[in-house]
Amino acid sequence: MPNPKRRHSQQRSAKRRTHYKAVAATLSTDKTTGEIHVRHRAHVSEGKLYYKGQVVAENTPIKK
Protein backbone atom coordinates (compact mmCIF):
# COMPACT_ATOMS: atom_id res chain seq x y z
CA MET A 1 0.00 0.00 0.00
CA PRO A 2 1.47 3.36 -0.96
CA ASN A 3 2.47 5.84 1.72
CA PRO A 4 2.83 9.61 1.39
CA LYS A 5 6.37 10.80 0.76
CA ARG A 6 5.85 13.99 2.80
CA ARG A 7 3.61 14.91 5.69
CA HIS A 8 0.33 16.69 4.89
CA SER A 9 -0.15 20.00 6.69
CA GLN A 10 -2.93 20.59 9.25
CA GLN A 11 -4.37 23.25 6.98
CA ARG A 12 -4.78 20.75 4.18
CA SER A 13 -6.72 18.39 6.45
CA ALA A 14 -8.88 21.25 7.74
CA LYS A 15 -9.78 22.26 4.18
CA ARG A 16 -11.01 18.75 3.51
CA ARG A 17 -13.14 18.70 6.68
CA THR A 18 -14.89 22.04 6.10
CA HIS A 19 -17.67 20.36 4.12
CA TYR A 20 -18.91 18.27 7.07
CA LYS A 21 -21.90 20.03 8.61
CA ALA A 22 -24.32 19.15 11.37
CA VAL A 23 -27.84 18.79 10.02
CA ALA A 24 -30.99 19.00 12.16
CA ALA A 25 -33.18 15.90 12.10
CA THR A 26 -36.28 16.13 9.92
CA LEU A 27 -39.46 15.83 11.99
CA SER A 28 -42.95 14.88 10.91
CA THR A 29 -46.34 14.39 12.54
CA ASP A 30 -47.86 10.92 12.69
CA LYS A 31 -51.34 10.82 11.12
CA THR A 32 -52.62 8.16 13.52
CA THR A 33 -51.38 9.44 16.89
CA GLY A 34 -50.63 13.07 16.08
CA GLU A 35 -47.18 12.86 17.71
CA ILE A 36 -44.07 14.48 16.32
CA HIS A 37 -41.26 12.03 15.56
CA VAL A 38 -38.08 11.66 13.50
CA ARG A 39 -38.89 10.70 9.91
CA HIS A 40 -38.34 7.13 8.73
CA ARG A 41 -37.97 5.87 12.31
CA ALA A 42 -40.36 3.88 14.48
CA HIS A 43 -41.64 5.69 17.57
CA VAL A 44 -43.39 4.67 20.80
CA SER A 45 -46.76 6.14 21.70
CA GLU A 46 -48.85 4.94 24.66
CA GLY A 47 -46.86 1.69 24.94
CA LYS A 48 -47.20 0.80 21.25
CA LEU A 49 -44.53 0.95 18.57
CA TYR A 50 -45.67 2.78 15.42
CA TYR A 51 -44.09 2.91 11.97
CA LYS A 52 -45.73 4.57 8.94
CA GLY A 53 -48.93 5.08 10.97
CA GLN A 54 -49.37 1.39 11.76
CA VAL A 55 -48.84 -0.52 15.01
CA VAL A 56 -45.75 -2.69 14.66
CA ALA A 57 -45.53 -4.04 18.21
CA GLU A 58 -47.40 -3.70 21.48
CA ASN A 59 -45.91 -3.59 24.94
CA THR A 60 -46.62 -7.00 26.47
CA PRO A 61 -45.23 -8.05 29.85
CA ILE A 62 -42.66 -10.84 29.80
CA LYS A 63 -43.87 -14.01 31.53
CA LYS A 64 -41.38 -16.15 33.41
Q: How far is CA 14 from the centre of its chain?
A: 26
pLDDT at 62: 67
Instruction: State in Å, rounded, how far the first CA of the chain is from the last one.
Output: 56
What gap in Å lies between CA 33 and CA 42, rounded to an integer?
Answer: 13
What is the sign of the dihedral through the CA atoms of 17, 39, 47 and 61? negative
Spans of all domains in the chain = 13-58
- Walk along the chain (64 residues) in steps of 10 and give the mean pLDDT of each run: 86 81 89 90 90 86 69
Q: List, in order, residues 6 or more apart from 35 with CB less than 8 Å away.
A: 29, 43, 45
Predicted local distance difference test score (pLDDT) of residue 36: 93
Q: Which one-letter DSSP state was computed for residue 26?
A: P
